[in-house]
Structure 1
């Protein structure tokens, strides 16, 4: 009887140990399978992220090279344009009444309603300014119209009506916009770096 009880106890311990070993092995196998699946998924996601990064880098490089080529073309075109046309045109100073004239004879005193800035940008200057901002040559009024005969660009020396003060105001606005864009891009880059760091 004692032998049977001992045998039953040994058998029970063997079954429990076997069950534990089988369960542990099954759990290990299931965990290993889940881990392998997670690793495969992580590898696929990393490969996709690398592919997107490679595509973005290639696209940036192509756009950068295209932009450099456009600006080189514009620079050559504008150097040639600049050799033929001034950037500013000087308007004649208003005529003040002479000693024997009075204002009622048609002359306007210089201090009343007369623009004191005689310098005006030419249409060539406006065309080059806009081209530098956009990276594309576009006519300024009649200066640079498509289909114009070669050398028939006398309009480029004409007064655009814009002063140096107008150009400076435009430059200030563009510089402010550029600074705001740089700050936004820097914040975006910093955010992306934080997300990538472990």
Structure 2
């Protein structure tokens, strides 16, 4: 009886131990399978993001080189234009005089009482200057009034040169105000981009 009981106990312990080992092995295998699946998903996501980053870098490089080429072409065009056309010309002077008291007076009372005056007559930007100003901002050579984009025969076309020397009506004060607004916008952009760069680097 004792031997049989010992055998039965040993068999029971073996079955319990086998069941525990089997359960532990099954759990370990399930965890490994889940971990392998998660790792595979992470690798796929990393590969996807890497490909996206590489494409973004390639797009930036292409656009940057294109912009460099456009600005180089603009610089050459505008250097030639500046050799032929001034950036500023005297503004129009408008003189208002009273009517001749010895002749018939058809003027209004306000005109008769107004003294002779002259307009500002200060320098104004030429159409060429406006064209170059806008080109520097946009990277594209576009017409400013009658001063059209550079053409094959522009350097020898007296009419085109004459058109570009015409005053635009924009004063230096207006140009400076525009410059200040553009500089402020650029400073705000730099600040935003720097905060974004700092955030991404920290992340």
Q: Which TM class, normalised by the smaller chain length? A: 0.7 to 0.9
Rounded to whole Å, the distance in 2 between the matches of 1:79 and 1:145 is: 14
Rounded to whole Å, the distance in 1 between the matches of 2:76 and 2:22 is: 80
Structure 2: 5+ residue runs without aligned partners?
Answer: 98-110
Alignment partner, residue 141 of structure 1? 145
Selected match of 2:128 from 109, 124, 128: 124
Alignment partner, residue 13 of structure 1? 13
Deviation at 1:189, TM superposition (A): 1.9
Asked if 2 retains the 8 angstrom alpha-carbon contact of 1:95 and 1:107, the reply is: no
**1:5-58 deviation digits (Å, cap 9, x = unpaired):** 211111111111111111111111111111111111111111111100100000
> How many equivalent residue pairs?
186
Rounded to whole Å, the distance in 1 between the matches of 2:17 and 2:176 is: 88
Once the two structures are overlaid, the 10-residue window that deviates more, 85-94 or 22-31, is 85-94
Once the two structures are overlaid, the 10-residue window that deviates more, 34-43 or 147-156, is 147-156
Matched, 1:181 2:185: no
**1:137-186 deviation digits (Å, cap 9, x = unpaired):** 01000001688963231110011000111111001111111111111212
Matched ranges for 1:17-166 at <5 A: 17-91=17-91, 108-109=116-117, 114-115=119-120, 118-144=122-148, 150=154, 151=157, 152-153=159-160, 154-166=162-174
Rounded to whole Å, the distance in 2 between the matches of 1:13 and 1:182 is: 74
SS at match of 1:161: strand
Rounded to whole Å, the distance in 1 between the matches of 2:82 and 2:150 is: 18
Instruction: Provide TM-score, normalisation by structure 1.
Output: 0.85
Instruction: Provide TM-score, normalisation by structure 2.
Output: 0.83
Rounded to whole Å, the distance in 1 between the matches of 2:60 and 2:151 is: 33
SS at match of 1:162: strand
Structure 1: 5+ residue runs without aligned partners?
Answer: 98-102
